[in-house]
Amino acid sequence: MITFYWYPKCSTCKKAKHWLDENEVAYNQIDMIETPPKKEELEKLFANSDLGIRRFFNTSGIKYREMGLKDKVDQMTEDEAFTLLATDGKLIKRPIVTDGKKVTLGFKESEFVENWK
């Protein structure tokens, strides 16, 4: 079973959810705004991905811009970045899909076909 972290008002998340449903992929759904992933979970997701820390940030989000994170993220330690991300689900790139081994961020159909079909 995969875990699907999403924000119900996010159009990209809705597309990902639709794809999962259409392809009959079983998942545990978590609203990442109401229940953001804890720091330890984010660290695990990062370790299981081949992605840079910046990819975990919702760089197009209002909060990201308000906090001026564009110029700060690269100066942060991993610990500082995960601590910050765990404080607010709107700072995190969405959706996140994981099976505990693989991780995808955002929604690209080709990545979903490769990883979740």
Q: Dihedral sign for Cα 85, 97, 110, 10, please.
A: negative
Per-residue pLDDT of the chain (117 residues; tens, 9 = 90+): 999 999 999 999 999 999 999 999 999 999 999 999 999 999 999 999 989 999 999 999 999 999 999 989 999 999 999 999 999 999 999 999 999 999 999 999 999 999 998
pTM of the model: 0.92
pLDDT at 16: 98
pLDDT at 37: 96
Kindly indicate whether the domain formed by 2-116 is annotated with CATH number 3.10.20.30.
no
pLDDT at 61: 92
Distance CA 3, CA 102 (A): 11
Residue labelled with tokens 């990442």? 32
Three-state SS sequence of 1-70 = CEEEEECCCCHHHHHHHHHHHHCCCCEEEEECCCCCCCHHHHHHHHHCCCCCHHHHECCCCHHHHHCCHH
pLDDT at 73: 93
Q: Which amino acid is at 97?
A: V
Distance CA 110, CA 69 (A): 29
What residues does each domain of the chain span?
A: 2-116
